[in-house]
Amino acid sequence: MTQRSTQSTDRERRIAAQAETERMRILHRDILGQADAHLGALTEVEAAKEVARFSTALWGAPNMDGYFDRQHLVNLRAHLHEAQHGFVTLASAGVLEIVSIPSLPDQAMGFHIFIVFDPRDDADHGHVIGYAVWSLEKGKAPFGQADKVRMAFDIFPDYRDGRYSKVPFTNHEIYNISRRILYHFKPREFRVDATTQISQSRTGNPLKRTAYYLKRGYYPPDCRAQADACLVRLARGQHLGERTLRNVVRSSKATFWIFPVHRYLKRTRRESQNSATQNHKSNTEESMDKGPHSR
């Protein structure tokens, strides 16, 4: 092996390690570190009103006709009796209401409808700003849990990029809240569809979507090294050019991009165990150094 190839391999290993560290940080900051939104029952009457509001906002957004399957709304209305909702205070002091309704039996699929309020304005009845749709792959997970959670997420154009100044928020803030709720299913892996959510998105810029999911720690399994390099640059606050983003998308044939939660939980547990062992060893050695008459 030449010196150049050795240096290249060492660099790739260093980048991979840095990317892993960043993904573990994302897990603790964006998922485990989020305040849990406690969901409570919502009456069928109220749930029906929220689905009607969601439908109005949905069809008022561009590119939804022919993209959003109308059967989803039919399915939501069939599960209104299972509706839940909860409230989270945003960083801006605005309030986000999350309306959660399954659209298939056993919560195999469902929606989060996002509504923001200005709590200082009694006349503000909320604005529907977008939604997340999830589906569960149960696999061999215990009852009430899922092996994989697949997410799709969209904020309507009128509310993106700080356009709604009355209640400021970021897409990332809303996404984190939704993903934290779905972490209730204890998935080993979060997934996003590589086509509909990224490369051929009809509701957003595909390159922006690529950068967004890379920064959230997702990667295509068949192009992980490229994704690692991008994540490290993004974590440093560096800009990714269009060519770089296109190369990631075009190089991958993967159906899904993934965030393997279980890998970073295992690493966290292992590091915690090592730390506890080291602390115990240090305390034992310190006690021995002091001797029996040190008390």
Lowest mean pLDDT segment, chosen from 52-61, 133-142, 276-285: 276-285
Per residue in 29-65, pLDDT tens?
998 887 778 899 999 999 999 999 999 999 999 888 8
Beta-bridge partner residues of 131: 113, 154
pTM of the model as a whole: 0.85
Rounded Cα distance, 108 and 127, in Å: 27
User: And the tokens for 170?
Assistant: 């970021």
The pLDDT of residue 247 is 96
pLDDT averaged over every residue in the chain = 89
210 backbone dihedrals φ, ψ, rounded to 5°: -60, -50
Distances (CA, A) of 234 to 1, 23, 216: 31, 12, 10
Structure tokens at 188: 């080993």
Would the pLDDT of 295 be above 50? Answer: no
Q: What is the pLDDT of residue 65?
A: 85
Helix ranges, 63-217 (H) = 71-77, 171-182, 206-215
Of 3, 22, 15, which Cα lies nearest the Cα of 215?
Answer: 22
Looking at the predicted structure, is the pLDDT value of residue 281 above 70? Answer: no
12-26, 134-148, 183-197, 254-268: range with lowest mean pLDDT: 254-268
**What would the pLDDT profile of 64-116 be if each residue is shown by its tens digit?**
888 899 999 999 999 999 999 999 999 999 999 999 999 999 999 999 999 99
Please say whether the dihedral angle defined by the alpha carbons of residues 164, 218, 140 and 137, taken in this order, is positive or negative.
Answer: positive
> Minimal CA–CA distance to 160: which of 236, 108, 224, 212?
212
Distance CA 35, CA 65 (A): 35
